[in-house]
Amino acid sequence: MKILFVGDVFGSAGRKIVREHLGHVRESHKVDLTVINGENAAGGFGITPGLAEELFDLGADVITTGNHVWDKRELIEYMKSVPADSHERPRRVLRPANLQHGLPGYGVYEGRLADGQTYAVINLMGRVFMNGTNDPFHAAGRILETVKAKVILLDFHAEATSEKVAMGWHLDGRVTAVLGTHTHIPTADERVLPGGTAYQTDVGMSGPYDSVIGVEKELVLNRFLTGMSGKFEAATANPKMCAALISCDPLTGKAHRIQRIMLGE
C-alpha cells in the first residue's frame, strides 16, 4: 500500500504547484491514500472551506492542519456541519487532537478506501515553542487505544526537532508513519525506524521557497533588521511541492520504505 503525504500547502503558489504535480505523482506511484497538510493554503494563514474542497478535488483523502487551523473562521462552521461518524469532506479536515477540550472539529479520522482497506489519520501539535496544546505524547497513546485501523499516519505539527524525533521513537511500531510538519523546511532524515514506523522530522512546505518559510523575504528581513512589526504576505517565487511517499504492508501497517519528494516548476 502506498501513502502520499504532502507538506504544508502555502498560499496560491503552494496550491498551484500541488495542482501541477499531485495528479502525476499519485498516478505514477500508484498511491492509495493521499493526505495533505493544508493549514497555510489561504495566503499562508489557515484554510477556507473552498480551498479544502479544492484540495479534495485534487485527490486529497484527508486534510490536516496545525496552529493556523482557526485563522479562517468559516472553517469552524464547515467542520461543525457534519457529525463525528460522518465520512463527508468536512469530517476529513482535521485539527490537532490535543487542543483544549470542547473545541470544534476532530483530530482523528478513520476511513476506508474504495478497495475496502481501512486507515486512520491522526493530527497532533507539539508543545515546545507552541501554545494552546496539551501533552501530545499521552494524547497519542489515548488515541491509539481507540483506533481500529492498522494503517495509521500521524501528522505531528511541531516546531522542535527534538519533540518530533521523540514522538517518532514513542510511536515506533505502533503507527505506520510519523511525519513532521510546520517548520516548512524538509529534513533529510527520512527512515523506517526499527519497529516499522516511517519517520521524517519535517516533510517541508509545498509553497514558495524564495521566501522566509513562505512569507515575502523582504517583510521578514525588515522585521529582523528593525524589530518593527508589519503585515506578512505570502511569497510566490520558486514554488516546490514537498511530500513523503510511504510503502507499507496493509495487513500489519508496518512501513517498508519512505521516500522524500521535492518537485519544482
Active site positions, annotated: 68
Least Å from the CB of residue 70 to Fe ion: 12
Contact present, 234 and 43 (Cβ < 8 Å): yes
Nearer to Fe ion, 105 or 196 (CB): 105
Nearer to Fe ion, 46 or 66 (CB): 66
CA distance 189 to 202: 9
Nearer to Fe ion, 207 or 253 (CB): 207
Least Å from the CB of residue 182 to Fe ion: 4
Least Å from the CB of residue 80 to Fe ion: 22
Contact present, 42 and 74 (Cβ < 8 Å): no
**DSSP-derived 3-state class of residue 96:** coil
E strand map for 1-53? 2-6, 33-37
CA distance 157 to 183: 8
**DSSP-derived 3-state class of residue 263:** strand
Report phi then psi at 109, rounded to 5: -135, 130
> Cβ-count burial of 125 within 10 angstroms (0-12 exposed, 13-18 middle, 19+ buried)?
buried
Nearer to Fe ion, 66 or 180 (CB): 66
Distances (CA, A) of 80 to 49, 155, 262: 12, 22, 34
**Phi-psi region at 101: left, alpha or beta (left = phi > 0; alpha = psi -120 to 50):** beta
**DSSP-derived 3-state class of residue 90:** helix
Give how far the C-alpha of residue 219 lies from the chain's centroid of Cα atoms, to the nearest Å.
26
Nearer to Fe ion, 184 or 254 (CB): 184
Least Å from the CB of residue 189 to Fe ion: 19
> What is the binding site for Fe ion (CB under 5 A)?
66-67, 182
